[in-house]
A and B are shown apart, each in its own frame.
Chain A
Amino acid sequence: MPRSIWNGTVAFGLVRVPVKLYSATESKRIPLRERHGQDGAAIEHRRVCVKEGKEVPYSEVVKGYEVSEGSYVVLTKEEVASAEGPEAHVVEIEHFVDREQIDPAYYERSYYLGPGKLGEEAYVLLRAALERSGRAGIGRFVFHNKAHLVAIRTVGEAIVLHTMRFADELSWGEELERPQPEKQPSKLELDTAQLLLAQLDAEFEPESYANTYRDAVMAMIEKKAKGEAIEAPESARIAPEGDLLGALEASLAKTGGAKKPKRRSAAAGRGSKTPGGDNGPKAPAGGKTPKTAAGGKGGKVPQKGDTRTRGGS
């Protein structure tokens, strides 16, 4: 049984659901540490007072908010932690929204909520109500001395809590310089691109995307461990493509041919998309409609009907 990292209640209306919070994710990054290239020794991070040039013990470290160049308002760690007052241990649900309205960019971190002590029945009730209504609860809770905006929703048999980003934390690139094409893509190019899209059409099968880089790095580490040097290949940068249509057509020929493996066929296995594997995948509302085999086999000739009519317009 995983260890819970927080206990509390979810409150909506006057209903109290005792819950426990668990991490829903874990990083599988290869653990790499900073080392000194010359002798391989460990690197220590030392906090040094700029004025005295001496190392500062942790107990003498305070936080300073810079109000103007070189001038700080000093806060103790306790004062910073006091921003939220004492923890109430409640996830207070303020609203419910249609899940589909939440842009994916708002989701920040993911946790599972499990039932707390004697909370099983209330948990099952909340889960049933969220599941059936297709809604997500939006609320707030204080975690690690910080108030978070959260969304709760069901995934399979579990209720998931996501911390959410605030609207002003997201940028949609208004301030970015965007080079514009001199000429817009032609109708023919668009049609051809559509075909290519259709050929690469698949169902999302998270299991089928392995982290091959991790394996490659591990293999390299093993090799190096035996004393072999690593040869860095030359730059792998690819020159930009000039002939768009030509590239599209060549791509079509390539993906349309024998090299169109697994996709659709593998997708036939159609397991759970939701993690949690065996506890009954209930794809987020309206998930996968079984698809027509459009774009499946090779050698399709451009035809209106084939090009994924769905999006229409």
Chain B
Amino acid sequence: MARSLWTGSLSFGLVTVPVGLYSAVRDRDIHFNLLHGPDSSPIETRRVCAHEQTEVPWGEIVKGYELQDGRWVLLSDADLEAAAPRKSHTIDIEAFVEEREIDPLYLDRPYLLVPENEVAARAYALLSEAMASSGKVALGRFVMRAKENLVSIRPRGGLLALTTMRFHDEVRPSTEIVKDLEEAPAPSEEEIENAIAIIAELEVPFEPDGYRDEHRAHLEAIIKRKRKGQKIAVPKQEPTKPAEPAPVAPDLMGALEESLARIRGQAPDKHGTSGTAKAASKAGTSGTAKAAGKAGTAGKTKTAAKPKRKAPAAKKAPAKRTGGAKRA
């Protein structure tokens, strides 16, 4: 049985529900221990007082805040709790909102709330049911480990799932990042439609089980090989970046049309006919139909279907690069 990370009350109106908070994230990472290379013995991290140069027991460690003049203010756990005594023990529900109004940019970590006992379970069930039938999620705040969290709470799989969220000032604006785009040449309607057609071709239901953690698998493979005494080839990480090819504006239309042709050539019957047929007929007048004919031999025929209406530098170079990129 997992241990709760926090216990306190979930409170809405004057109803309080004693709950425990559990992480909804399972740690699946491959963990390494730090070892001392020469003798392969484990390494311990010791906390040492910089002043006395002696090891400090855990109980003597406090938090410190550095003032501008270099002095430090020391804070005990009790101090930190005193800054917000209620919030340290209570998740106060402040509002109920539509879940889709919460942009995923605000989401941080998922947790689960579990009632502490049978009495609590009743109020817990009441809140869950009321939320389930309203379709709303609750917003609240509480303090855990010296940090205030804005949270959203929703019913999920018979429990209340809590997600910590970022505060508004912790989400950066994108204004600066996209500000130059206003002057960018707008894509043509045809290009957009082709791009959407590609999206439709590649659309699947979201099935998270279908995605494996490749990184974990790679690490496991390396460990296995190493265990058998095999050498691990470490690719030379070029210390300097390879000379970047001079950037060229991509030939969008050519890439779009060829993508469609290839995707359709590969999986003609996979996604039903509707999307494909529609898109195909739409694009029929341009290069798509032609390209589709060639789809079988895809790799070889990659001269851009159209010259490219934007003259500069587009010459065909970018279309070339697409060759090896997509697995066949």
Contacts and interface: CB of A to CB of B under 8 A. Distances in A.
Interface string A89-106: 010011111101111111
A273 B107 CA distance: 14
B273 to A, nearest CB: 18
Contacts of A158: 174, 177-178
B112 A275 contact: no
Given A51-B41, A183-B122, 6 more contacts: A43-B49, A118-B249, A129-B196, A201-B97, A244-B15, A278-B173
Contacts of B82: 220, 230-233
B113 to A, nearest CB: 9
Interface in B145-174: 146-148, 150, 152, 156-159, 161, 163, 166-174
In the complex, the 3 A-B pairs of residues with the closest C-beta atoms, listed nearest first = A251-B13, A13-B259, A213-B148
Contacts of A172: 24, 112, 156-157, 159, 161
A129 B192 contact: yes
Contact of B170 (A26, A67, A168, A279): A26
Interface string A69-102: 0001111101111111110001001111110111
A196 B28 contact: no
A25 interface: yes
A244 B126 contact: yes
Contact of A18 (B39, B131, B247, B325): B247
A204 B103 CA distance: 10
Contact of A40 (B12, B47, B74, B318): B74
Given A64-B35, A179-B117, A185-B129, A115 B203 contact: no
B178 A42 contact: no
A194 B130 contact: yes
Interface string B64-106: 1111000111111011111111111110011111111111111
Contacts of A269: none
A29 B147 CA distance: 7
Contact of A64 (B33, B72, B146, B158): B33
Contacts of B147: 29, 213
A36 B61 contact: yes
Contacts of B61: 34-37, 43
Contacts of B9: 237-238, 240
The interface size bin for chain A is: 35 or more
B184 A50 contact: no
A95 B204 CA distance: 6
A180 B174 contact: no
Contacts of B105: 24-25, 110, 155, 160, 274-275
A40 B64 contact: yes
Contacts of B107: 104, 107, 110
Given A123-B184, A157-B174, A236-B88, A82 B36 contact: no
A120 to B, nearest CB: 3
B325 A34 contact: no
A37 B181 contact: no
Interface string A156-199: 11101010111111111111111111111100011001101110
Contacts of A29: 147
